[in-house]
Amino acid sequence: MTHKISAAGLALVQRFEGFSAEPAQLPDGNWVVGHGHVRVGEPGAPVGHDEAASLLVADVAPVEHLVNISVTRALTQSQFDALVSFAISIGAEAFGQSQVLRRVNAGEFVAAACAMDAWRKSDVSGELAIVDVLVRRRAAEKAMFLDDVSVEAAPSPFLRAKLDYAASILGAPISYAPAPAVGSIAVVQAQPEPTQRLTEILKSEPATEALLLTQPVGDDFIEGEEEIATAHAKPVARPLDGVREATRRAYATQQDAQPKGVWNLFKREDGQSVFAAQPEIKVDRRIRELRTKPDTAPRFVLPARFDNVGLVALTVFGVVLVAIGALLAFNGQSIDFLAGGAVAAPGLAAAGIGGYGLWRAAPEAANA
């Protein structure tokens, strides 16, 4: 069954919506006139009581349709009028999600009427507060909604009422906020987006604005030998001397963590043999320039470490063997020549191994 609001329902709405002949501005910048009629943009001309009543009927029509399609239970006229007034007050979206509508569709009319009391707060000057006019409107709508609901007699001596502590806490606020006069709340100015506001603040400083306008630098861009560019905005110049020093220190730290010995002489840091075939590696031009620049540090420096002392001893031992072999070979006899060669060969191997090890360790000592 399709309902339409009655004269009593319209009177209830008119009573709490009030009447304003002159347009009053709303906080969102629009205008309200008559019995809560909203004009978007321009305030328009004043209205009389008859025009205000006509505007109210036009505004109530979509709310009547909303209540008719949302409620699945049969309603009396007073229940329909109360729900229309309630929906106008809280808005169509809130009405569709309210506990009131769910209770009505469940057939729990008393619970639905009690649920109306929850909608008594509003935003007053930026704060959510219980407003006295909303308390009164909810009471009137609740009474109208329950007007046609049958009630059973219950003598007080038989059914004495007791205090509901939850209801006493919820229903007894410290104070009620009076309803503000229409047009007394200032229009809320639109605030810019946070990112837009931050950009405006940053651009207020000339140096910061210049930094914001800096174009990114590509990976293959090299501005000069005195600085290194990245894919991000141009960084602070970093001299190449500092880069060299940092690279040397990192390499020396890595080498110190690995044991040095004769068996590791022919192994790289990754464990592969130095004689293994090496893949072609593309080296950045800046790194290649660092490697090809002449190094002014002394090339051969003996590091004062125990493992390198062993290399020195191995080299000396090899040289001694070579000398002994040479002395034996120069005696002129064939047997002595063969004996000298047998002694000199291990000496050459020992001297070569020790010399190569010292040659590898010399750059570390120079960079340390």
Active site residues: 17
Tokens of 129: 């507060």
Q: Which amino acid is at 54?
A: S
**Residue 274: strand pairing partners:** none
The closest alpha carbon to 139, from 72, 89, 70, belongs to 89
* 8 Å CB contact between 96 and 72: no
Report the first-to-last Cα separation within the chain, whole angstroms: 96
The conformation of residue 177, written as its DSSP 8-state character, comes to B
> Helix, strand or coil for residue 39?
strand
Can you tell me the distance from the alpha carbon of 234 to that of 232, in angstroms, rounded to the nearest whole number?
Answer: 6
**3 state SS for 121-139:** EEEECCEEEEEHHHHHHHH
Q: Which amino acid is at 290?
A: L
Name the maximum alpha-carbon separation found in the chain: 146
Q: What is the secondary structure of 228-292 as a DSSP string?
A: ---SSS------HHHHHHHHHHHHHHHHHTS---GGGTTB-TTS-BTTSPPPP-PPPHHHHHHHH
Q: What share of the chain is helix, strand, coil (3-state, %, to 5)?
A: 50, 5, 40
**Angle in degrees, 0-180, between the axes of helices 49-70 and 7-17, rounded to the nearest 10:** 110
- Region for residue 34 given its phi and psi (left: phi exceeds 0; alpha: psi -120 to 50; beta: otherwise): left
Cα 69 off chain centre by: 42
Q: Which amino acid is at 354?
A: G
